[in-house]
A and B are shown apart, each in its own frame.
Chain A
Amino acid sequence: MQLLKSLSVLALALAAHASVLTVKSPRLVVADSLGNQLRAEPFSLTQKTLTPVELERTDILKLTFQIVDEDGKGVQPHQTFVRFFDPTTGEEGIQPVKVTTAGKAKFELNVQRPPQYLPPTGSSPLSVSLIIGTPNFDPISAQLFDLTLPRSQPAPAHPDEPTFHLQQELFHTFRPDQKLPPKFISFVFAGIALAPWAVLFGLWSQVAPAPTNLLSPSILPFVLSLGALEILLFWYWVQLKLGDVLLYGFILSIPTILTGKRALSSISATRLGAKQ
């Protein structure tokens, strides 16, 4: 049983090894911004190109190749990638390559506009490899060459970066206590504030109409209950709580309304009677 199992695995492995992809006419070209070719040579999947490829700020790297099977027929693999790997930092960038149905592929890297997928470059070169994977064929992962790119700019600082540091400790600050004015000024202004009372009583003494029937039994209760309400409010200022004053005020308002109705209707009757 065990033997059968290992035999079947072997058979599967043989089947998998049956088809091999190769790359036809692989070529790498380095051109400057004007299109002049600085370097043009074939590359190989089996052997890494010894001289590292160097790109200046305005250079363009082009890779062209055709993927074929053993019969030389073009194959469009499911997955084709170029991988840039920085062995010192461990950062990598993997970029898919478009391959036509005939297996032809073209890859371009313009250093003037460095693509997002490139890892940040330091002093050591990036190692460039080609990865091809498709069902029924052996996968390929081949080191192509080392690539030296211009050193990348330092990463820009995020605008919020300073806020992610320890901030200065906050302290509560209070305004100084407000002060009462000197006693003398307080007394002077208390006198001035009371002066209008003198004016009021002075004027009233001249113009007050004679309170004819303020003490009559129909009016006096109303006046007293109004006074009681005012005293209640004063008491509220001095001592009472809001709930108390609302309760007492409600109780006191009932006799006030009744006596008020009586007093005012009696006044009204007197007024109308005097008119007629």
Chain B
Amino acid sequence: MSSKSQPSSNPMASLWNSYNDQTSNRLKFIDSFLVYLMLSGIVQFAYCVLVTSFPYNAFLSGFSSTVGQFVLAASLRSQVNPANKDEFKEVSPERAFADFALGSIVLHFFVYNFLG
């Protein structure tokens, strides 16, 4: 990339560039999912505020599913990130994924249970 050699004057741009350059595709894959969850949660919340909260249980379960999934995915990301290897010596990436899968199944059970 061309921006790699020339330091950018804009701090946001330099942050973006360094993210693009230094983050592995696996983490970007999870990051995309996080972005998706954030957008989805924001849209649902905006709908609840702007249009109607009816049916409220559906809003709650939809919104909480995005929040819960975000938390699970964020913890998965932090555990499989090679930069955090020293923090999670005991947790292999496979173990982190197993945790993520189990947590997601339980979360989805509660979400469907609440969806009505």
**Bound state CA distance, A180 and B51, in angstroms?**
9
Which 8 pairs from chain A and chain B are nearest by CB?
A: A203-B32, A200-B36, A207-B28, A264-B94, A196-B39, A178-B54, A237-B112, A196-B40
CB pair A203–B35 under 8 Å, yes or no, is yes
Given A192-B43, A233-B109, residue A178 in contact with residue B115 (CB < 8 A): no
CB pair B32–A204 under 8 Å, yes or no, is yes
Chain A residues near B (Cβ < 8 Å): 178-181, 185, 189, 192-193, 195-197, 199-200, 203-204, 207-209, 226, 229-230, 233-234, 236-237, 242, 245, 249, 260, 264-265, 267-268, 271
CB pair A207–B93 under 8 Å, yes or no, is no
A80 to chain B, nearest CB (A): 79
B84 to chain A, nearest CB (A): 16
**Contact partner of B32 among A189, A192, A207, CB < 8 A?**
A207
CB pair A185–B51 under 8 Å, yes or no, is yes
**Bound state CA distance, A189 and B93, in angstroms?**
38
Starting from the known contacts A195-B43, A207-B28, A209-B26, 11 additional A-B residue pairs (CB-CB under 8 Å) come to A179-B54, A185-B51, A196-B40, A199-B32, A199-B36, A200-B32, A203-B36, A207-B32, A230-B108, A233-B108, A267-B94
A10 to chain B, nearest CB (A): 96
Contact with A along B75-92 (1 / 0, CB 8 A): 000000000000000001
CB pair A197–B94 under 8 Å, yes or no, is no
Counting CB contacts under 8 A, is B97 at the interface? yes
CB pair B94–A199 under 8 Å, yes or no, is no
Chain A residue with the shortest CB-CB distance to B97: A264
The A interface is mostly helix, strand or loop, or mixed, namely helix
Chain B residues with Cβ below 8 Å from A185 are 51
**Bound state CA distance, A271 and B31, in angstroms?**
22
A272 to chain B, nearest CB (A): 9
B108 to chain A, nearest CB (A): 5
Counting CB contacts under 8 A, is B71 at the interface? no
B54 to chain A, nearest CB (A): 4
- Size band of the interface chain B makes with A: 20 to 34
Counting CB contacts under 8 A, is B5 at the interface? no
B22 to chain A, nearest CB (A): 14
Given A200-B33, A203-B35, residue A181 in contact with residue B51 (CB < 8 A): yes
Counting CB contacts under 8 A, is B44 at the interface? yes
Counting CB contacts under 8 A, is B9 at the interface? no
Can you list 11 pairs linking A and B with CB atoms under 8 Å apart?
A180-B54, A199-B35, A199-B36, A203-B35, A209-B26, A230-B105, A233-B112, A236-B109, A237-B112, A249-B109, A267-B94
Counting CB contacts under 8 A, is B8 at the interface? no
Counting CB contacts under 8 A, is B15 at the interface? no
CB pair A209–B29 under 8 Å, yes or no, is yes
B110 to chain A, nearest CB (A): 10
**Bound state CA distance, A185 and B69, in angstroms?**
27
Counting CB contacts under 8 A, is B113 at the interface? yes
B17 to chain A, nearest CB (A): 15
Residues of B41-67 whose CB lies within 8 A of A: 43-44, 47, 51-52, 54-55
Chain B residues with Cβ below 8 Å from A264 are 94-95, 97-98
Greatest chain A CB density within 10 A among B26, B47, B93, B115 is at: B47
Chain A residues with Cβ below 8 Å from B105 are 226, 229-230, 233
